[in-house]
Chains A and B, each alone.
Chain A
Amino acid sequence: MSSERIVYPFAAIVGQDEMKTALLLNAINPQIGGVLIRGPKGTGKSTAVRALVDLLPEITVVRGCRFNCNPEDPTNMCQTCLSTYMKGESLPVETRRMRVISLPIGATEDRVIGSLDIEKAIKMGIRALEPGILAEANQNILYIDEVNLLPDHITDVILDVAASGWNIVEREAISVAHPSRFILIGTMNPEEGELRPQLLDRFSLQITIKDLLDEKQRVEVVRNNLSFGEKPVDFIKAFEEEQENLRQKILQARKTLKTVIIPDSMLEVVVRSCISLGVDGHRPDIVTVRTAKTLAALEDRSQVTAEDVSRVAGMSIGFRTRRGGFEEPATIEEIVRVFTSNMKEKGLITTPVVRIAGKS
């Protein structure tokens, strides 16, 4: 499948540090809950997402299970796997590369959710489910290109599943619930229309990428692209070492993540800032803390620092509606200002953290 195809190496992507960080963070900690990448066409959004596949760690799945169940987690199993597990029998295990499952714009509801397997129904008289994309996406990455153009009813379904981690199929004589935990990655070009604000909120992180303005970087982009087009195998080899480093880094970070702690004073800063920014709901707080912890893990630290929080705040809060939709989303400058002043008050930093997310 897509993992066997030759993909552009992630390490060879020039610039766009914020996007790369956001993708890596999601690869380390799937619980962050996905990222939305906004940007004009031809800025390497899709390339980056596809390139991520090569870095992803392996996952263990139950062999032969249509829903890619995780054999070690009884709380996330389909009915068949669970009953086997309960009997105390060991499940056949298979390790497999994580995959990027793309959701095409034209996908119909039955393909997404799953539907009655018609062949089985008429040939054998068995009421069986033909699993949909959401089943395939379990433990993998679900990638929606041009998410803003997706029909509303499909978007609703996907976001509902993304929030709960379960896909409940109640259609056409089928009644099945199966786990569907995926990293949701969406890309969109704001020129082609905005996403509904309600849907925007379901993405945990959001980043906006711009065209590279640096001449040198642009030259490098062109050069890389040309050599990848001509000799893809050699090109990949040239980046193999860097790729391997990244892979190790992700594995290491996954281990570190469990030990990362966040000081209570920092928690208070996050909450206080979210309150004074007036963002709706509690999701922003939770996501900010979770992402900051992952960032600390990525940089191999066991404690979340003020810099981590300031870096992720722009990604996790910058697009959310405020005060019940009556106020425009906060700008990055505003977010950084609020966070900085709160951190100063708590004595966590003395000088403002200069690095603003997206501005290095």
Chain B
Amino acid sequence: MIAENVGDEQRPIFPFTAIVGQDDLKIALVLNAIDPSIGGVLFTGPKGTGKSSLVRAAAEILPEVEVVEDCIFNCSPSDPTNMCESCRTLFLNGVVLPQTKKKMRVVSLPIGASEDRVIGSLDVEKAIREGVKALQPGLLVEANQNILYIDEVNLLPDHIVDMILDSSASGWNAIEREGISVSHPSRFILVGTMNPEEGELRPQILDRFGLHASAQTLVNLKERIEVIKRNDEFSNDPLPFRDKYEPEQEEIRKRIISARALLPKIKVSDLIVESVAKICSKLQVDGYRPDIVIVRGAKALAAFNGRDEVQVGEVIRAAELALGHRTRQEGQMIPPTSKEILNAIKTTPLGKEALRRKYRKPLSFKLPSLRIRRKYARITLILFFVMPVVWFFWFYFSFDLLSEFLNVQASNFDTPFRTFVALVLTLVLIGIIFILRRPRKVTVNGSIGLAKITVDQMLGQRMIAEERENSPHKIVADVKLKSEHQVSVEDGQRVFTESTKPSQEPEQSKRERWSHEERIRRGRNYLVGKRAKVVTSTSRGRYVWYEFPREKPWSIALEPTIRAAAPYQQARKSLDLSMVINPQDLRIKIREYRAPFSMILLIDMSMSMAMSLSNLARAIRTLHKYVYRRRDRIGIIVFKGADAYVLQEPTTNLELAIGKLWKVRASDLTPMAAGMYKAWRMLRLEKQRNKDSILMLVIVSDGITNIPLKQALSRHVNRMSLSDAQADSMDVAHLLARDDIRTVIINTSHTNINAPVKNEIQDFPWKIYTPTEFLMEISNITSGSYYGLALSKEDEMPLQTKKKRLDDWFYFEDKPKIG
């Protein structure tokens, strides 16, 4: 009893069928179990929606696979392209390989996994005891013909991700390290879960996943109550709970096995293939992988439904699962929404066919809301039962009328005959209504819990979900700029070349702009160089070299250690070990990784700034591709009213940050010092979390600060400005300078200060800075860079240039040259 329930997976797993809702996720997993060549699935969704539980639960419904007995690499006995060296030699020599059936497993890759465990490494035990150079297989070996499950895949270190990508692309894992040279097949179903709030996944790895399904927080009251109840029951006593769901589990298992058998027989019409290709080209998804995945997915779905032909509904479902995460136009466009996918389907021959045959209304009709629909459903149900009875009695009692209509004498017929005729007529009526109603409901089998969803129901749900999703992006302050911003010249020493009136000297302004662009290009390269700073560490990153241990050794570099011990083996004889290693032979691994980059955008949300908000959001969005590539973390702090607010903790997911930017309302006051202080604290925390991170602060403001800190940082004697608000900001700037935080200051309303500002009292060091002077002073203190923008009506710049330029500011790191 216990042995059965515990099995080789020791943990009590929450049964697959006991998970409430999340049909998309379940279907995606089942499809992969039916056809592993679909290529895995990625689950996204907020925390606590049961993503991880579902994958763990999937282990129990998986079918068996055939493997070569005693082969450590889990080779397939019938496929010579998927065999390790020794198995293939045997196979090609005509030896029938001994085979057994093994249950498919879920091999999990924990976040803390080290490189050598993932790809395999030299076997310590054998090396020291027997002096044999043997391979200790890694997780990629175990994962062959199984499921490789990565929880929180977006948090996995880059170098491990690269390795997995490599072997998932080729199906092979080549080990060339520590004196070992082996390659072996490693074909696995890659299953990952991630919470997009914690950062984005690189597009390359995103594309590796065949399907994508997003988990939703359930909004249905009953379902949610059910979730709590089942959870409670399970945690109280897991075993009886599991027994309760065993029949359902068994049913799914059987369905998967029969679907696997059915899969090769499934026909795909040319119409469908053509339509799928058309959908993908219409949506401009990158590569051909999506097309293939959709067809495979639709086939698997048809097999699961027990059909031997693929139908429209299955294609729609498969397309939704296969396209939801694909980048488009070489990563320029975000993945298509389900609405776009449906629109694309509509234009294909298949969609047209579906429209003509099955739909009276066009595909894109809008449902009022789910609740109203449900109400209708109830009424229909009542009518369905009540109406036939009413009809029957009507026919029965109005038989005279009826007989007249049929041209026969009513009195000729007795009661049984009357009943019979009334019954027949009722049935005919029901039949007519049924036929009339039927075409509108195209059933899409596929959901496990709910056996059937009609296409229009599905559409309606999707649209509502989409609408809900879109609603938070209300544009609060999208004021179009009346005139374009134009760059004027900046200088640390406050000596200026005038360029705010370009109408008078158009030539010069143009030239300046070009030179500016050029400098930007230089600047970026400079920063790229800086950014590529490689940090060595003993705890994370890729193993590159070895060294002597300085403290208690761990993370031993085995091969150098053995090499160090080798010359002394003559002298150190041991009975049971073939290799004696002394502590002084130990070498530890040196690893290296790229320094992460943390940037805080400090944004002024005063009224005066509100008009440039849309531009700003656009500029931040252009940063997106850099963030992708470089795994930078970007946080946003805004200051307005009396205090500064953290809009976004540092994250690699910029879309999230931009979405939040729209929700901020502008206010009158400008507490810049508070904003800078908060940013300083946040950056220090980033540094604490990872001491190698490069810190950067970007301030976007017009420099009109008017709220000081609640508590001043220094005594007034040392202050440089008469305004408390300015003085406090400068104090914080000194803190920034002390912690070596790079700053970029963007002044959105740069004014010309040709004439030196006169002090009220001569020889008195204190004064009040103009906003522009003030921002320059800040940039001086922090030795950062300063960019002034000024409004100019005449010089209209094309949008593209401006976007590019704004984007460049963030990455420009050249300190203004003086003189």
Residues in A lying within 8 Å of B, measured CB to CB: 31, 74-77, 79, 82, 86, 108-110, 113, 115-116, 118, 121-122, 124-127, 148-153, 156-157, 160, 163-166, 168-175, 177, 192-194, 196-198, 201-202, 258, 264, 267-268, 270-272, 274-275, 280-286, 289-290, 321, 323-326
Chain A residues whose C-beta falls within 8 Å of the C-beta of B492 in the assembled complex: none
Bitwise, B107-119 to A at CB < 8 A (1) or not (0) is 0111111101110
19 cross-chain CB contacts under 8 A: A74-B2, A86-B3, A118-B553, A121-B124, A121-B125, A122-B582, A126-B125, A149-B685, A153-B540, A171-B114, A171-B117, A172-B117, A172-B556, A175-B139, A196-B649, A202-B47, A281-B46, A281-B217, A285-B228
> 11 extra interchain contacts, Cβ-Cβ under 8 A, other than A149-B688, A275-B221, A282-B48?
A76-B10, A118-B554, A160-B152, A164-B52, A169-B110, A175-B117, A175-B139, A194-B685, A267-B229, A271-B221, A290-B235
Is the Cβ of B646 less than 8 Å from the Cβ of A194? Answer: yes
Is the Cβ of B685 less than 8 Å from the Cβ of A267? Answer: no
Q: Known contacts A171-B113, A193-B685, A275-B219; is A290 also within 8 Å of B123 by CB?
A: no
Q: Known contacts A122-B581, A173-B117, A197-B197; is A282 also within 8 Å of B227 by CB?
A: yes
Minimum Cβ distance to chain A for residue B16 (Å):
17
Q: Tell me the bound Cα distance from A128 to B676 in angstroms.
A: 51
Q: Give B294-353 interface residues, CB cut-off 8 Å to A.
A: none
Q: Tell me the bound Cα distance from A324 to B11 in angstroms.
A: 31
Is the Cβ of A326 less than 8 Å from the Cβ of B124? Answer: no
Chain B residues whose C-beta falls within 8 Å of the C-beta of A166 in the assembled complex: 11
Contact of B225 among A127, A197, A198, A271 (CB under 8 A): A271
Q: Tell me the bound Cα distance from A166 to B52 in angstroms.
A: 13
Chain B residues whose C-beta falls within 8 Å of the C-beta of A82 in the assembled complex: 6, 10
Q: Tell me the bound Cα distance from A276 to B199 in angstroms.
A: 27
* Among B227, B660, B689: residue with most chain A CB under 10 A: B689
Q: Known contacts A125-B129, A126-B125, A281-B217; is A325 also within 8 Å of B689 by CB?
A: no
Q: Tell me the bound Cα distance from A70 to B126 in angstroms.
A: 33
Q: Tell me the bound Cα distance from A185 to B260 in angstroms.
A: 47
Q: Give B577-618 interface residues, CB cut-off 8 Å to A.
A: 577, 579, 581-583, 585-586
Chain A residues whose C-beta falls within 8 Å of the C-beta of B109 in the assembled complex: 170
Bitwise, B137-153 to A at CB < 8 A (1) or not (0) is 00100000000000110
Minimum Cβ distance to chain B for residue A82 (Å):
6
Q: Tell me the bound Cα distance from A113 to B11 in angstroms.
A: 19
Q: Known contacts A116-B124, A152-B689, A267-B225; is A170 also within 8 Å of B684 by CB?
A: no
Contact of B649 among A160, A172, A194 (CB under 8 A): A194
Is the Cβ of B110 less than 8 Å from the Cβ of A170? Answer: yes
Q: Tell me the bound Cα distance from A270 to B229 in angstroms.
A: 12
Q: Known contacts A324-B46, A325-B656; is A74 also within 8 Å of B128 by CB?
A: no
* Among A86, A153, A264: residue with most chain B CB under 10 A: A153
Q: Give B2-57 interface residues, CB cut-off 8 Å to A.
A: 2-3, 6, 10-12, 46-50, 52, 56
Answer whether residue B218 sits at the interface, using C-beta atoms and an 8 A cutoff: yes
Chain B residues whose C-beta falls within 8 Å of the C-beta of A74 in the assembled complex: 2, 6, 10
Q: Tell me the bound Cα distance from A125 to B124 in angstroms.
A: 7
Is the Cβ of A172 less than 8 Å from the Cβ of B218? Answer: no
Q: Give B726-772 interface residues, CB cut-off 8 Å to A.
A: none
Chain A residues whose C-beta falls within 8 Å of the C-beta of B358 in the assembled complex: none
Q: Tell me the bound Cα distance from A326 to B690 in angstroms.
A: 27
Answer whether residue B775 sits at the interface, using C-beta atoms and an 8 A cutoff: no
Nearest neighbor of B126 in chain A, beta-carbon distance: A125
Answer whether residue B78 sits at the interface, using C-beta atoms and an 8 A cutoff: no
Nearest neighbor of B596 in chain A, beta-carbon distance: A152
Minimum Cβ distance to chain A for residue B210 (Å):
25
Is the Cβ of A272 less than 8 Å from the Cβ of B221? Answer: yes
Is the Cβ of A170 less than 8 Å from the Cβ of B232? Answer: no
Answer whether residue B373 sits at the interface, using C-beta atoms and an 8 A cutoff: no
Is the Cβ of A172 less than 8 Å from the Cβ of B116? Answer: yes
Answer whether residue B163 sits at the interface, using C-beta atoms and an 8 A cutoff: no
Is the Cβ of A283 less than 8 Å from the Cβ of B48? Answer: yes
Is the Cβ of A282 less than 8 Å from the Cβ of B224? Answer: yes
Is the Cβ of A118 less than 8 Å from the Cβ of B556? Answer: yes
Q: Known contacts A125-B579, A165-B11, A283-B47; is A157 also within 8 Å of B112 by CB?
A: yes
Is the Cβ of A289 less than 8 Å from the Cβ of B586? Answer: no
Q: Known contacts A122-B128, A122-B582, A275-B221; is A168 also within 8 Å of B108 by CB?
A: yes
Contact of A109 among B108, B112, B198 (CB under 8 A): B112
Q: Tell me the bound Cα distance from A157 to B123 in angstroms.
A: 26
Chain A residues whose C-beta falls within 8 Å of the C-beta of B112 in the assembled complex: 109, 113, 153, 156-157, 169-171
Chain B residues whose C-beta falls within 8 Å of the C-beta of A264 in the assembled complex: 225
Q: Tell me the bound Cα distance from A157 to B157 in angstroms.
A: 13
Nearest neighbor of A108 in chain B, beta-carbon distance: B539
Chain B residues whose C-beta falls within 8 Å of the C-beta of A164 in the assembled complex: 52, 56
Chain A residues whose C-beta falls within 8 Å of the C-beta of B118 in the assembled complex: 170
Q: Tell me the bound Cα distance from A106 to B316 in angstroms.
A: 52
Is the Cβ of B228 less than 8 Å from the Cβ of A281? Answer: no
Minimum Cβ distance to chain A for residue B600 (Å):
13
Q: Tell me the bound Cα distance from A192 to B113 in angstroms.
A: 30
Q: Tell me the bound Cα distance from A116 to B688 in angstroms.
A: 28
Bitwise, B623-636 to A at CB < 8 A (1) or not (0) is 00000000000000
Nearest neighbor of B552 in chain A, beta-carbon distance: A118
Answer whether residue B459 sits at the interface, using C-beta atoms and an 8 A cutoff: no
Chain A residues whose C-beta falls within 8 Å of the C-beta of B789 in the assembled complex: none
Minimum Cβ distance to chain A for residue B243 (Å):
14
Nearest neighbor of A153 in chain B, beta-carbon distance: B540
Is the Cβ of B540 less than 8 Å from the Cβ of A280? Answer: no
Is the Cβ of B238 less than 8 Å from the Cβ of A75? Answer: yes
Q: Give B661-715 interface residues, CB cut-off 8 Å to A.
A: 663, 681-682, 684-685, 688-690
Chain A residues whose C-beta falls within 8 Å of the C-beta of B539 in the assembled complex: 108-110
Answer whether residue B454 sits at the interface, using C-beta atoms and an 8 A cutoff: no
Is the Cβ of A77 less than 8 Å from the Cβ of B10? Answer: yes
Bitwise, B646-661 to A at CB < 8 A (1) or not (0) is 1001000000100110
Chain B residues whose C-beta falls within 8 Å of the C-beta of A192 in the assembled complex: 685
Answer whether residue B472 sits at the interface, using C-beta atoms and an 8 A cutoff: yes
Q: Known contacts A75-B6, A275-B221, A325-B656; is A156 also within 8 Å of B152 by CB?
A: yes
Minimum Cβ distance to chain B for residue A204 (Å):
11
Q: Tell me the bound Cα distance from A281 to B539 in angstroms.
A: 34
Q: Tell me the bound Cα distance from A173 to B576 in angstroms.
A: 21
Bitwise, B186-206 to A at CB < 8 A (1) or not (0) is 000000000101100000000
Contact of A281 among B11, B48, B582, B690 (CB under 8 A): B48
Q: Known contacts A74-B6, A264-B225, A271-B224; is A173 also within 8 Å of B681 by CB?
A: no
Chain B residues whose C-beta falls within 8 Å of the C-beta of A152 in the assembled complex: 689-690
Contact of B228 among A79, A86, A267 (CB under 8 A): A267
Chain A residues whose C-beta falls within 8 Å of the C-beta of B659 in the assembled complex: 326
